[in-house]
Amino acid sequence: MALFRHVRTEFWRDEKVLEEMTPEDKLFFLYLLTNGNTTQIGVYKIPKKQMAFELGYSIESVNTFVDRFENYYKVIRYNPTTREVAIKKWGKYNLIKGGKPILDCVKKEIREVKDKTLLAYVADDISKEDIKIEFVKYIDDTYNDSLDSRLTIRGQKEKENKKEKEEEKENEDVAYSMSVGKFKKLYEENVGLINGIVAQWLIELAENIDYELFKKAIEIATDRGKCNKGYINGILNQWSDNNIRSYSDLMAYEKSKQNRGDRYGANSNKYRKNEFTSWCEDEDEELYRKPTYDEIAAVEREFGEFRTKH
């Protein structure tokens, strides 16, 4: 039996209490919250005769109160067979603190409840997870079995996820090794032997560009008779400066430059081709030498004439 019960000040500001309940209703509600039969869990046994005696009402009046609070206000449930009552929002205002003493008390009182549906009625408004679990375990006899099942399934899923991640990493490592291997093979077949410095360079290339772009750079260097690491790296650096990391990037860039060139007409000479388009068509060689003073002056004159006309 409880020595005392707390009633929160919010009780008096509750919309139903404030706007709908009569003074007699408020007294009856306070009685349900604070009488000597109340428990820590908000479900307890109390005969209607006891209510009538302690409140000074008749049995008929108590029946009316119980019916109104259960069916109109919907804040309680009463089982006339087990003579147990459940307070709807008891858990919201009272079961908000945890700890072993509270849990031990909750476990003890739960086992004394005969109508488990009343526990479910109160459990809906319990926010404290560890307390709510105790309600659920008692309500559902299969809870422990289902909990073990859920834990087993969760463990299996975690193992499967871990295995999948390991396989993904292994596949990534294999794919990466194959990619580096392709770069090395292409270099050996077209350029020469690979030492430590070249090997590290090829590894970095494999991480940053695709194989087809590397192959294109070697083809350009071979066509010019300058197929060596320095020259190939120069081509790749020029492409990198223009955010070209793949062969498709290169094709898109060349297409873009071609479209822009078409807008200005076909009268431009080779000196109007800047360093970014010089690897296209037959003028790729211009990209890798410094322009002469006369060439720079010619470009500046043509640019000035272009601005005057437009």
Does residue 284 carry a pLDDT above 90?
Answer: no
Q: Which two tokens stand for residue 197?
A: 């410095």
Judge whether 213 and 244 are in contact, CB under 8 Å.
Answer: yes
Which residue did the predictor score with more confidence, 15 or 165? 15
pLDDT over 90, % of the chain: 37
Residues in the chain: 310
Q: Is the pLDDT of residue 136 over 60?
A: yes
Residue 271 vs residue 121, higher pLDDT: 121
Lowest mean pLDDT among 89-93, 134-138, 153-157: 153-157
Domain boundaries, the chain: 9-141
**For 102-132, how does the pLDDT look when each residue is reduced to its tens digit (9 = 90+)?**
888 999 999 999 999 999 999 988 888 888 8
pLDDT score for 277: 41
| Average pLDDT for 84-102 | 85
pLDDT confidence bin for 307, thresholds 50/70/90: low
In whole angstroms, what separates CA 49 from the centre of its chain? Answer: 57
Q: Which positions ≥6 away from 103 have C-beta within 8 Å?
A: 130, 131, 134
Considering the chain, what is the average pLDDT of its residues? 80
Do the beta carbons of residue 43 and residue 83 sit within 8 Å? no
